[in-house]
Amino acid sequence: MSGRQETNRPSSAPLYTSAAKIYPREMKGRFASLSKLATIILLGLFYVVPWLIWDDRQAFLFDLPARKFYLLGLTLWPQDFLYLALLLIIAAISLFFFTALGGRLFCGFACPQTVWTEAFIWIEQFTEGTRSQRMKLDKAPWSWNKLRRKGSKQLLWITLALWTGFTFVGYFVPIRELSSEIIALNVGGWTLFWGLFYAFATYGNAGYMREQVCKYMCPYARFQSAMFDRDTLIISYDEQRGEPRGSRKRGADPKGAGLGDCIDCTLCVQVCPTGIDIRDGLQYECIACAACIDACDSVMDKMNYPRGLVRYTTQHALEGKPSKLLRPRTVIYALLLTVLFSAMMFSMITRTPLILDVIRDRNTLFRELPQGVIENSYTLKVINQSNDPRDFEVSVSGIDGIHIDGISNPVSVDGGGVLSLPVRVRAHRDNAYGIMDINFTATSTDDDTIVVVEDSRFLAPTP
């Protein structure tokens, strides 16, 4: 990929320049409105969701200090890590699926990098004006006006970044407590650190680095083309219709002058946040923001040409062939997604809200008691994952006459609590010799579908 980039670069462009500032040109149009809508919805969700309440508790809270995840009515434990892993796999396959169908829709409309950059650009335009006004302002000497505009931009940027950092942390520690701690100026050191860390990352990424992140740092941008085929939706310039490009008087007949529909106004290049020329074909820098479509459509409208010289299309459509939605790639991704998603749902619905951990006492193999009784020691951890207190009957099996000594059944465990239970297990040496497999069972007394069996080993002297 990088090889192609080298050859595409105009030979006059220097290889080593410090990154000068980018002045994206603002553009109105269908896709600009769509991206504005996506930004408002996604950012709105991000900032509002931690404040939602479910059953007197934060609805979405990944409580790291307590090592519990609350998702609406569901409480997940570290032992439920499988779900998180599954969820990440589902997210990855969904990304592949939507890439195969819609190209880089994610990049252009849903990626956090895009979304926050958009928000920061709004602030920039609000305080410093349009592209040409911003360029003029930067060249101008310092004045009260410049200070006021630059200062208010920084103030708004920093406020938004800090609010973002605060919200981010609010997904991991209860946000209502956090806000009262902030008001009382009594925030824990690490909480403060991560809030500022995320705020700084937001400020730097959305304020300054912007699409450089997509060009130089994003792995997805480099490998997404592997998921493309000739039926994938891409932003493309209709070369057959546009070429040969050239300027002309308004109202002149392009065919008579031997010209295509492209008037070479370069507006599509000027609006491009990654600085590519879409007329050179599909390039990996293109994040599918569709700004060039809006730009070109506006020009086509002015020229009274039909819209869509630059448009969302597929390679097949450009070649005049039909585009297929159903193809092996999309069908396989869809099947995989369905299977994984149903497996996860099934396993979540049938999940037993009880975990039994058995830890053998490592210090002694076994003890020999009078009358040929062999004793092994274990620590049982009974974890009640439901939100209500429950009683459990704990038992052991696997050897004739084996039993637990030293506990009084049933044991009660608080809702969301862990009970650590040291137990002695005894069996007669006539039945136990060498290494034997045994099973511990915990059963809820009020609901015998809540039952967990855990394997362990019982050691006895070899006869």
Partner 1 sequence: MVDEDYRGAKQWSRNKQSVAVVIWISFLAAAVGTMVFFAVFDPAALATAIDEGLEINREAGYAAGFFFFWVLTAACSAVTAWLVRTAPKRDSKRR
The residues that touch partner 1, with contacts defined as CB under 8 A, are 9-10, 13-23, 64-65, 67, 78, 81, 84, 188-191, 193-194, 209, 212-213, 215-217, 219, 266, 269-270, 274-275, 277
Q: How far is the CB of 106 from partner 1 (least distance, A)?
A: 16
- Per-residue HEC secondary structure of 337-386 comes to HHHHHHHHHHHHHCCCCEEEEEEECCCCCCEEEHHHEEEEEEEEEEEECC
Q: How far apart are CA 347 and CA 74, in angstroms?
A: 13
Q: How far is the CB of 189 from partner 1 (least distance, A)?
A: 8
Cβ proximity to partner 1: between 67 and 367 the closer is 67
Q: How far is the CB of 285 from partner 1 (least distance, A)?
A: 9
Cβ proximity to partner 1: between 216 and 346 the closer is 216
Tokens of 134: 């911003």
Tokens of 157: 């940027």
Tokens of 406: 């030293």
Cβ proximity to partner 1: between 207 and 232 the closer is 207
Q: How far is the CB of 30 from partner 1 (least distance, A)?
A: 24
CB contact at 8 A, 205 and 113:
yes
- Which of 420, 283, 434, 275 lies closest to 366, judged by CA? 434
Tokens of 451: 């039952």
Cβ proximity to partner 1: between 80 and 231 the closer is 80
Cβ proximity to partner 1: between 255 and 362 the closer is 362
Q: How far is the CB of 14 from partner 1 (least distance, A)?
A: 7
Q: How far is the CB of 72 from partner 1 (least distance, A)?
A: 21
Cβ proximity to partner 1: between 22 and 162 the closer is 22
Q: What are phi and psi of 9, to 5 degrees?
A: -70, 135
Determine the 3-state secondary structure of 317 from DSSP.
helix
Beta bridge mates, 375:
367, 426
Cβ proximity to partner 1: between 275 and 422 the closer is 275
60-63: strand order across its sheet = 60-63, 68-71, 74-76
- DSSP one-letter code for 68: E
Q: How far is the CB of 6 from partner 1 (least distance, A)?
A: 11
Q: How far apart are CA 206 and CA 43, in angstroms?
A: 13
Q: How far is the CB of 343 from partner 1 (least distance, A)?
A: 19
Residue that has been written with the tokens 């070899």 in this structure: 462
Number of other residues whose CB lies within 10 A of the CB of residue 350:
8
Cβ proximity to partner 1: between 78 and 320 the closer is 78
Cβ proximity to partner 1: between 20 and 53 the closer is 20
Q: How far is the CB of 74 from partner 1 (least distance, A)?
A: 17
Question: What percent helix, strand, coil does the chain show, rounded to 5?
Answer: 45, 20, 35
Name the CA dihedral angle for 362, 368, 373, 379, rounded to a multiple of 10 degrees.
-20
Determine the 3-state secondary structure of 210 from DSSP.
coil
